[in-house]
């Protein structure tokens, strides 16, 4: 099957239940306690940056981007969750969704993107591992899976600190609260 057989399109409200089912299947029912979900607390996906892959009318993939603040100072996007139906994996669908999202994010003037995920996969679209201690997250996370991509050259220069959703960024977490979550994309 070539990647011509699926199409990439903007997410529609009618896709929501299919996307939730796909995310449950891909990440498990306990996905909402993962650290990456703490980064989405109180936020909505960024308008114009939620895409799906369809085979005919069947939704086979999803990607979204969320707003972030680093050290309460720098804005960034959070990429994820990214998920493809198991039967449609390995055909370039995940890469195609990311390329569409990153290209559109760049057109919309966004400068940097952060994610929690497998470097060997995301390096295919230009993500690199954050240096030790550069970005800290509000929960336990494997530092090897904290990645970023600059959409503007130099956009990550000097950027470091606690990464949070804008809402939480203004209501800093209480000490000790972070322990309740798990690492995950």
Nearer to ligand COA, 65 or 91 (CB): 91
Site string for ligand COA, 54-83 (x = CB under 6 A): ----------------------------xx
Q: CA quadruple 180, 121, 100, 74: dihedral positive or negative?
A: positive
Note whether 120 binds ligand COA by CB under 6 A: yes
Instruction: Choose, by CB under 6 A, the member of 19, 26, 68, 141 that binds ligand COA.
Output: 26
* Cα 110 to Cα 69, 73, 75, 129, 163, distances in angstroms: 13, 15, 9, 19, 16
Q: Considering beta carbons, is residue 142 or 177 the nearer one to ligand COA? A: 142
For ligand COA, the closer of residues 15 and 118 by Cβ is 118
What does each C-alpha distance from 145 to 57, 105, 121, 141 come to in angstroms?
A: 34, 22, 11, 7
By CB under 6 A, is residue 42 in contact with ligand COA?
Answer: no
Q: Which of 62, 48, 56, 49 is CA-nearest to residue 15? A: 62
Site size toward ligand COA, by CB under 6 A: 16
Q: Which span (90-98, 133-141, 164-172, 174-182) binds ligand COA, by CB under 6 A? A: 90-98
Cβ contacts of 70 within 8 Å, gap of 6 or more: 76, 114, 135, 159, 160, 161, 162, 163
The site for ligand COA (CB under 6 A) is made up of 26, 82-84, 89-95, 117-118, 120-121, 185
């Amino acid at each position: 099957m070539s990647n011509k057989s699926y199409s990439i399109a903007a997410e529609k409200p009618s896709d929501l239940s299919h996307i939730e089912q796909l995310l449950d299947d891909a990440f498990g029912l306990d996905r909402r306690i993962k650290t990456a979900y703490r980064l989405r607390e109180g936020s909505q996906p960024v308008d114009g940056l939620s895409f799906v892959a369809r085979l005919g009318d069947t939704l086979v993939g999803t990607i979204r981007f969320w707003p972030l603040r680093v050290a309460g100072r720098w804005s960034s996007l959070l990429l994820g969750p990214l998920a493809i139906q198991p039967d449609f994996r390995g055909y370039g669908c995940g890469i195609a969704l990311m390329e569409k999202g990153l290209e559109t994010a760049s057109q919309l003037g966004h400068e940097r993107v952060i994610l929690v995920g497998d470097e060997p996969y995301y390096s295919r679209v230009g993500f690199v591992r954050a240096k030790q201690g550069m970005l800290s997250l509000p929960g336990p996370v494997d530092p090897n899976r904290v990645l970023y991509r600059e959409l503007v050259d130099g956009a990550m220069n000097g950027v470091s600190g606690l990464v949070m959703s804008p809402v939480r960024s203004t209501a800093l977490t209480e000490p000790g609260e972070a322990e309740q979550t798990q690492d995950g994309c």
